[in-house]
């Protein structure tokens, strides 16, 4: 039995490594890849290799399935564009939808759930109204949650389209307002790059910072392997096209108060996927990195999450990062007392 | 992490690794699926996981949480006595959410003369029971839950998993079939009483033999015997609702389904008893050219 997610990381990093897998290990690897939402990326990565027939069929399915996911994501993005046509200001696509809209390597085979967009904070009331007019509605109309989102979060409460059943998250910045770093969404909007159809994506440095904020500064590393695979894809492609990329990234990360996080993500990505990063960046806290890798690979050959204690530590950390202690206590108390 | 036991099960074109925290439950599955092909290489399409809802629930009021490669966030746990149902639901979930090599129709199917009869309808329509009965009366049983429509050829691929008999169908089938082909009786499940029935050996041995769809019925149990024609658009819409992966297949699914609706004759069939239904089916079948 495979004991953790290392074979998945190895396969992404070095496709030839799968030649060592036995039949049963293939089944385990596939369960792990599905659980980590990396089956599509893996399928693309292993294209052209000589694989067992049943495995090849599973990967062919994954490739087909993600092709449809891609089409749907682009369609959904276009729906939002039409809904927001008369709202002044940029609509910036985020995460997976942005990667596929821009044709980036990080988008190839990537799973995409909700549509995430970034708009200017002062346009939120108009955006909200336009989306409600166009058929989106609130997912969970709960007064506490609603108020919480509006006062402390970086996005509106989630909305879902009543006919297409697709969710949209409308962001006005990239981290909860209660988190310590204060990124500069204004700069992200200013520098956003227009695509042919009138939608925008973030500039490469901002896109990378957002990817990092998402995985390192706002969460418990669940789905971390996928998010760091995104990071690997983004920085590898951006730095290949722009020799100044790392330097610009450093400056921009500083501005968003995310430099430490960006460097840490780079170190982890380097350790996991062999990402080429600037030499002086590869220094990190060994203990912290080892603990994080232990967390990131916590999955067994049945696709189950393992290492409960390690995961708990990161879960607590995620709440700690998200809000100050007294506020956290109040929040958890309210949540606890609710039926 | 608690230990898991697993068994690989092959049904038609799909292979499942059913893993459970309870060894005994795996051996029940092993026994009931004993006459299915052995999976020697441990290479499967899907993993199903059956685990205690909370660690202590392995022993105290044990309850089975269903998950796997594909899962739904709000699946309610089942008591351990209903482990076989949990396994069935786990396998269904993998097919419904994960299978893309066929258009999945929520329908039963049987075969005669190389041609397939499909029956679809809401739960309680009797489609599953009718397929089980016909399977004992001269037809080859192809599946009681999913009919797999080949995307290119339009043929039906058998998926003859254990037949999941419910409520009144249980005594009815016990009259027809020897006791050693039944699993344990599961009482008081969310779907009422359930008992699993092994398909005939021949149906399992020929589970890779396809059949051309020749007739689709929408049976409805509990109404006076009657046959009605249905409009193509109604048939199409009802089949999109009866398909678990029609949307996920995109244009491929649309093509396969429109072709099916164009080529296969359809009747809505009301009936009061199994005998009445069989007589109606025999007559319809004889009238097919």
Q: Give contacts of A 75-104 with B, CB under 8 A.
A: none
- d(CA A319, CA A328) in angstroms, rounded, equals 7
Please report the pLDDT score of residue A86 as a whole number. Answer: 95
| CB < 8 Å to A27, chain B | 17, 42-44, 47
Pick the residue of A66, A302, A303 with the most B CBs within 10 A to test the interface with B by mutation.
Answer: A302
| CB < 8 Å to B49, chain A | 302-304
Assigned architecture for domain B102-287: 3-Layer(aba) Sandwich (3.40)
Distance from CA of B19 to the nearest CA of A (A): 8
Handedness of CA A267, A268, A271, A275 (dihedral sign): negative
Q: What is the mean pLDDT of residues B272-285?
A: 96
B47/A302 touch (CB, cutoff 8 Å), yes or no: yes
Domain with CATH 3.40.50 in chain B: 102-287
The angle at the Cα of B258, spanning B255 to B264, to the nearest 5 degrees, equals 130
Pick the residue of A58, A139, A308 with the most B CBs within 10 A to test the interface with B by mutation.
Answer: A58
- d(CA B143, CA A209) in angstroms, rounded, equals 52
Please report the pLDDT score of residue B1 as a whole number. Answer: 62
pLDDT (tens digit, 9 = 90+) per residue, B29-40?
Answer: 999 999 999 999
B69/A302 touch (CB, cutoff 8 Å), yes or no: no
pLDDT (tens digit, 9 = 90+) per residue, B124-137?
Answer: 899 999 999 999 99
SS3 content of chain B, % helix, strand, coil (to 5): 35, 35, 35
B43/A54 touch (CB, cutoff 8 Å), yes or no: yes
Q: What is the mean pLDDT of residues B152-164?
A: 97
Please report the pLDDT score of residue B262 as a whole number. Answer: 97
Share of chain B above pLDDT 70, in %: 99
For residue B3, CA distances in Å to A33, A311, B28, B29 come to 21, 19, 18, 18
pLDDT in tens, chain A (339 residues): 889 999 999 999 999 999 999 888 999 999 999 999 999 999 999 999 999 999 999 999 999 999 999 999 999 999 999 999 999 999 999 999 999 999 999 999 999 999 999 999 999 999 999 999 999 999 987 888 888 888 889 999 999 999 999 999 999 999 999 888 999 999 999 999 999 889 999 999 999 999 999 888 767 888 999 999 999 999 999 999 999 999 999 999 999 999 999 999 999 999 999 999 999 997 777 888 899 999 999 999 999 999 888 888 888 888 777 777 777 777 777 777 765
10 Å CB burial of residue B23 (0-12, 13-18, 19+) is: exposed
Please report the pLDDT score of residue A92 as a whole number. Answer: 98
Cβ proximity of B126 and B165 under 8 Å: no
Average pLDDT of chain B to the nearest whole number? 95
- Cα A309 versus chain centre, distance: 24
| CB < 8 Å to B5, chain A | none
Search chain A and give the residue with CA nearest B45.
Answer: A58
Which domains does chain A carry? 6-337 (3.30.460.40)
| CB < 8 Å to A68, chain B | 248-250
| CB < 8 Å to A58, chain B | 45
B66 by DSSP, 3-state: which?
strand
Which residue from B43, B45, B250 is facing A68, i.e. has the nearest CB?
Answer: B250
Check residue A228 and report its DSSP letter. H
Which residue from A27, A64, A302 is facing B4, i.e. has the nearest CB?
Answer: A302
**Does B44 lie at the interface with A, CB-CB under 8 angstroms?**
yes
Pick the residue of B4, B100, B101, B104 with the most A CBs within 10 A to test the interface with A by mutation.
Answer: B100
The complex's ipTM?
A: 0.93
Please report the pLDDT score of residue A339 as a whole number. Answer: 57
Search chain B and give the residue with CA nearest A71.
Answer: B250
Please report the pLDDT score of residue B267 as a whole number. Answer: 98
**Does B150 lie at the interface with A, CB-CB under 8 angstroms?**
no
Task: Name which residue leads in pLDDT, A222 or B95.
Answer: B95
Please report the pLDDT score of residue B57 as a whole number. Answer: 75
Share of chain B above pLDDT 90, in %: 92
**Pick from A198, A227, A301, A56: nearest CA to B6:** A301
B17/A27 touch (CB, cutoff 8 Å), yes or no: yes
Please report the pLDDT score of residue B278 as a whole number. Answer: 97
Q: Give contacts of A 17-46 with B, CB under 8 A.
A: 23-24, 26-27, 30-31, 34-35
Q: pLDDT category, B176, cuts 50, 70, 90?
A: very high
Please report the pLDDT score of residue B41 as a whole number. Answer: 92
- d(CA A116, CA A171) in angstroms, rounded, equals 7
């Amino acid at each position: 039995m495979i004991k953790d997610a290392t074979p998945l990381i190895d396969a992404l990093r070095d496709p030839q490594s799968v030649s060592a897998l036995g039949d049963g290990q293939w089944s385990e690897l596939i369960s792990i890849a599905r659980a980590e939402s990396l089956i599509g990326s893996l399928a693309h990565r292993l294209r052209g290799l000589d694989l067992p027939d049943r495995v090849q069929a599973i990967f062919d399915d994954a490739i087909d399935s993600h092709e449809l996911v891609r089409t749907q994501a682009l369609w959904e993005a276009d729906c939002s564009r039409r809904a927001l046509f008369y709202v002044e200001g940029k609509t910036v696509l985020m995460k997976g939808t942005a990667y596929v809209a821009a044709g980036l390597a990080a988008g190839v085979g990537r799973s995409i759930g909700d549509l995430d967009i970034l708009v200017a904070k002062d346009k939120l009331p108009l955006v909200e109204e336009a989306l409600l007019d166009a058929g989106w509605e609130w997912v969970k109309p709960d007064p506490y949650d609603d108020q919480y989102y509006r006062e402390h979060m970086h996005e509106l409460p989630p909305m879902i389209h009543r006919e297409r059943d697709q969710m949209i998250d409308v962001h006005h910045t990239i981290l909860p307002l209660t988190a310590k770093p204060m990124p500069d969404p204004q700069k992200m909007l200013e520098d956003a790059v227009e695509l042919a159809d009138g939608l925008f994506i973030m500039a490469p440095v901002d896109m990378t910072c957002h990817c990092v904020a998402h995985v390192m500064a706002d969460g418990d590393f669940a789905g971390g392997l996928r998010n760091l695979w995104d990071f690997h894809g983004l920085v590898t492609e951006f730095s290949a096209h722009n020799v100044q990329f790392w330097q610009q990234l450093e400056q921009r990360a500083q501005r968003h108060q995310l430099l430490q996080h960006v460097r840490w993500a780079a170190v982890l990505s380097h350790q996991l996927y062999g990402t080429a990063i600037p030499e002086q960046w590869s220094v990190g806290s060994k203990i912290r990195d080892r603990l994080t890798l232990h967390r990131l690979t916590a999955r067994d050959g049945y696709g189950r999450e393992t290492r409960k204690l390690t995961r708990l530590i990161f879960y607590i950390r995620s709440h700690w990062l998200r809000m100050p202690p007294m506020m956290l206590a109040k929040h958890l108390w309210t949540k606890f007392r609710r039926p | 992490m608690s230990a898991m036991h697993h068994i690989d099960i092959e049904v038609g074109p799909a292979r499942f690794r059913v893993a459970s925290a309870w060894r005994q439950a795996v051996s029940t599955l092993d026994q009931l699926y004993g006459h299915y092909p052995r999976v020697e290489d441990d290479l499967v399409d899907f993993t199903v996981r059956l685990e205690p809802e909370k660690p202590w629930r392995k022993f105290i009021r044990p309850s089975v949480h269903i998950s796997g490669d594909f899962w739904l966030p709000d699946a309610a746990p089942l008591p351990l006595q209903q482990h076989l149902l949990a396994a069935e639901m786990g396998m269904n979930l993998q097919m419904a959410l994960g299978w893309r090599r066929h258009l999945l129709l929520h329908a039963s199917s049987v075969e005669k003369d190389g041609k397939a009869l499909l029956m679809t309808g809401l739960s309680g329509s009797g489609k599953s029971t009718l397929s089980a009965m016909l399977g004992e009366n001269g037809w080859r049983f192809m599946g009681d839950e999913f009919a797999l429509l080949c995307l290119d050829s339009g043929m039906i691929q058998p998926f003859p998993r254990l037949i999941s008999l419910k409520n009144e169908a249980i005594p009815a089938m016990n009259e027809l079939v020897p006791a050693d082909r039944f699993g344990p009786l599961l009482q008081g499940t969310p779907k009422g009483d359930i008992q699993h029935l092994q398909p005939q050996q021949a149906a399992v041995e020929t589970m890779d033999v396809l059949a051309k769809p020749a007739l689709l019925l929408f049976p409805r149990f509990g109404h006076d015997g009657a046959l009605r024609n249905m409009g193509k658009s109604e048939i199409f819409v009802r089949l999109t609702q009866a398909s678990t992966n029609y949307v996920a297949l995109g244009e491929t699914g649309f093509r396969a389904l429109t072709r099916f609706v164009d080529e296969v004759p359809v009747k809505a069939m009301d009936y009061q008893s199994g005998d009445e239904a069989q007589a109606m089916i025999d007559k319809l079948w004889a009238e097919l050219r």
